[in-house]
Amino acid sequence: MTTEHAAAQINAWEVAQRQFDLAAERLKLDEGMRLVLREPRREFTVHFPVHMDDGSVQVFTGYRVQHNLGRGPAKGGIRYHQDVSLDEVKALAMWMTWKCAVVGIPYGGGKGGVIVDPKKLSQKELEGLTRRFFTEIEILVGPEKDIPAPDVNTNAQIMAWMMDTFSMHAGYTVPGVVTGKPISLGGSEGRNEATARGTVFCVIEAAHHLGIEIPKARVAIQGFGNAGAIAARLIAEEGATVVAVSDSSGGIHAPDGLEVARVVAWKQEHGTVQGFPGAADITNAELLEVDCDILIPAALENQITAANAGNVKARLVAEAANGPTTPEADEILHRNGTFMIPDILCNAGGVTVSYFEWVQDLNRDHWTEETVNDKLRVIMVKAFGETLEMAHREQVDMRTAAYLLAVKRVADAMELRGLYP
Ligand code: GLU
């Protein structure tokens, strides 16, 4: 079975709830608290019209879900993808709650999505869709309530339109309503690279723990968007050899290594990494099974499943994507001695620098890239260390450890606030 087929059959929300149930059970969480945390607080569905370039009107469907607001306002990206569903957004929102808790930033979890293939829209249509969608979800969002950000297929330009839409309705500029904005509009230095940088900080910590020498390590990366392409560059800068990369069209493999900058240029010119000179074309499924030391899934959910986990050769898996591994695959990897850096820890660099951006916006401040990266390193190294310590103390795998930390922090916050009324 291809990874695409396997992924389509697995429900991300069921996966997210199962991961939570495992942690709740181990924490012996109170039954009432379990019932609260296993469902999202708010799920909002909108159907909205957009003027298309050919003069027609098309109606799109989008979602904003707030999973939990116990530790602060909802935080999480908005993705544009043809396969978006309410269940996927619910899962992603729940993962944001745990992610913010693992790294200890004062947010709850939220997520949004629109069912659309943005590659099929013109810039004008993309702007129209963005402005109308943001208008529709405006009753939920705001710098004190719910702060969106980029995710799959959304970027700084789209955040600029969202910020402008909200600001036009408010009558004044509100930079803190979204993060991941262009620098000139209150965006933070280092935000664009933050997800990948956080992943690489975690990989360095894990490699140290496992005795892997990064300059001798071979790395395979699935996904060549904001997380994957930048992770490829940053890990190569650490001296590692990137042997395989892929995008939604497929991948490329070169056992002696790929020159990342040239692959980036090739993708820019040809729209895909495939066909890169000197490398063999492979499928996305094959990429996961490539002979390598470090595997970085940086694309979509449910890629490593019971069907292929046994064929993963990497000693270290670093989840730059959200939800790339199913619970069955987790068990297989753990049994095979693969060290996992789970998504809620591994890709938390993005939301961490989003938090820095929001703090700068609220304070009308602007930090240097060095300050941002230093603060990011401190947070990621601390979160990695706390997770590893929990894994040792409780004799559990790294995902369970990260969940134990996160769920406990959220449950404690909820407990202290008490049940209203
Ligand atoms: N979309 C990113 C994530 O999944 C970033 C979210 C944010 O910055 O709020 O973590």
**From residue 284, how far is each of 21, 158, 225, 249 by CA, in Å?**
30, 28, 14, 8
pLDDT, tens digit (0-9, with 9 covering 90-100), for 314-364: 999 999 999 999 999 999 999 999 999 999 999 999 999 999 999 999 999
Q: Which residue has the tokens 């969106």?
A: 148
Q: 134: closest CA among 164, 91, 94?
A: 164
Expressed in angstroms and rounded, the spacing between residue 216 Cα and the centre of ligand 1 is 31
Structure tokens at 203: 């990989």
CB of residue 154 inside a 6 A radius of ligand 1: no
This prediction has a pTM of 0.97
Asked whether the predicted pLDDT for residue 4 surpasses 60, the reply is: no
pLDDT, tens digit (0-9, with 9 covering 90-100), for 73-118: 999 999 999 999 999 999 999 999 999 999 999 999 999 999 999 9
Expressed in angstroms and rounded, the spacing between residue 98 Cα and the centre of ligand 1 is 12
Q: Residue 285 carries which DSSP code?
A: H
Residue 48 CB coordination number (10 Å): 17
Residue 111 annotated to the active site:
yes
Q: Residue 274 carries which DSSP code?
A: T
Asked whether the predicted pLDDT for residue 1 surpasses 50, the reply is: no
Q: Which domains does the chain possess?
A: 1-39+188-347+398-421 (3.40.50.720), 40-174 (3.40.50.10860)
The arithmetic mean of pLDDT across residues 255-284, rounded, is 98
**Ligand 1 atom 9 nearest Cα:** 76
Task: Pick the catalytic residue from 75, 99, 111, 181.
Answer: 111
- 337-340 long-range contacts, CB within 8 A, separation 24+: 338/312, 338/314, 339/206, 339/209, 339/210, 339/315, 339/398, 340/397, 340/398, 340/399
pLDDT, tens digit (0-9, with 9 covering 90-100), for 195-220: 999 999 999 999 999 999 999 999 99
* Distance of alpha carbon 246 from alpha carbon 223, whole angstroms: 5
Task: Say if residues 358 and 203 touch (Cβ distance below 8 Å).
Answer: no
